[in-house]
Homo-oligomer: A and B are copies of this chain.
Amino acid sequence: MAEKKKVVLVDDHHLVRAGLRALLEDLNYYEVVAEGADGSEVLALIEKTNPDVVILDIAMKIKSGLDALIDIKALYPTLPVILLTMHNTSDYLQTAIERGASAYLLKDSAEVELELALNAVLKNEIYISPKLSEQLLETLNADRKSEKVIVSKVLTPRQTEILKMLADGKGTKEIAFDLGLSVKTIESHRSQIMERLQIRDLASLVRFAIKNGVTTL
């Protein structure tokens, strides 16, 4: 058998990480050469270990997997990255793919999926959890029906910024002050965020933000 493939594993829960490592090494074809607890460490780990693939959790405290993905692709555009997501929503699947992710898996996936994804990714293919790819197709079809194929970026940077603050418990007034803007402006952004996300209440907004790594639980 050829040399084992080198894997960098980044997830902010130690036990989860250890579990994934055990799983990978039981396959006898992968070797975890580095582990990280946050997206902000990943570049250093890659440089040190020159891995064949990176496995990144999306929801991490300091820097999310999606953010780390940008950094990685800027310096190592051909290094395959597998994203792991906690919850069954394809909200950021498009973003992930636009940013060059090679695979997008639910943490709830079967072990074989992880193996399939690794195999695919090492052949420069793209692997997406079946559950999610269904949703993606539905989304694309829905878009097509509505005349224009708008592959929207979900939220603008400003909106994302404000979403985070809202989800972190800040009030409109406080946000307005922090950003040096009018309360009315924040209210506008807030309405537009909810409009886009089809959300009507703050609680769901908080969930959305957590699920998508905009903020942390």
Chain A residues near B (Cβ < 8 Å): 12-16, 18-23, 26, 84, 86-87, 105-111, 113-114, 166-171, 200-204, 206-207, 210-211, 217
Contacts of A202 in B (CB 8 A): 169, 202-203, 206
Indicate if the CB atoms of A111 and B203 lie closer than 8 Å. Answer: no
Contacts of A201 in B (CB 8 A): 169-171
Q: Which of B14, B84, B200, B211 contacts A110 (CB 8 A)?
A: B14
Q: In the bound complex, how far is the Cα of B105 from the Cα of A217, in angstroms?
A: 18
Indicate if the CB atoms of B15 and A105 lie closer than 8 Å. Answer: yes
| Residue of B whose beta carbon sits closest to that of A18 | B111
Contacts of A107 in B (CB 8 A): 13-16
Q: In the bound complex, how far is the Cα of B210 from the Cα of A201, in angstroms?
A: 16
Contacts of A217 in B (CB 8 A): 86-87, 207, 210-211, 217
| Residue of B whose beta carbon sits closest to that of A200 | B169
Contacts of A86 in B (CB 8 A): 13, 217
Contacts of A110 in B (CB 8 A): 14-15, 18
Query: How many monomers of this protein are in the complex?
Result: 2
Q: In the bound complex, how far is the Cα of B16 from the Cα of A84, in angstroms?
A: 11
Contacts of A109 in B (CB 8 A): 14-15
Indicate if the CB atoms of B169 and A203 lie closer than 8 Å. Answer: yes
Indicate if the CB atoms of A20 and B15 lie closer than 8 Å. Answer: yes
Contacts of A18 in B (CB 8 A): 19, 23, 110-111
Indicate if the CB atoms of A26 and B16 lie closer than 8 Å. Answer: no
Q: In the bound complex, how far is the Cα of B81 from the Cα of A179, in angstroms?
A: 48
Q: In the bound complex, how far is the Cα of B88 from the Cα of A12, in angstroms?
A: 12
Indicate if the CB atoms of B13 and A203 lie closer than 8 Å. Answer: no
| Residue of B whose beta carbon sits closest to that of A27 | B22
Q: In the bound complex, how far is the Cα of B111 from the Cα of A33, in angstroms?
A: 17
Indicate if the CB atoms of B203 and A168 lie closer than 8 Å. Answer: yes
**Could you name 22 residue pairs across A and B whose Cβ atoms are closer than 8 Å?**
A12-B108, A13-B107, A14-B109, A14-B111, A15-B23, A15-B107, A15-B110, A15-B113, A16-B19, A18-B19, A18-B111, A19-B23, A22-B23, A22-B26, A86-B217, A169-B203, A170-B203, A202-B202, A202-B206, A206-B206, A207-B210, A210-B217
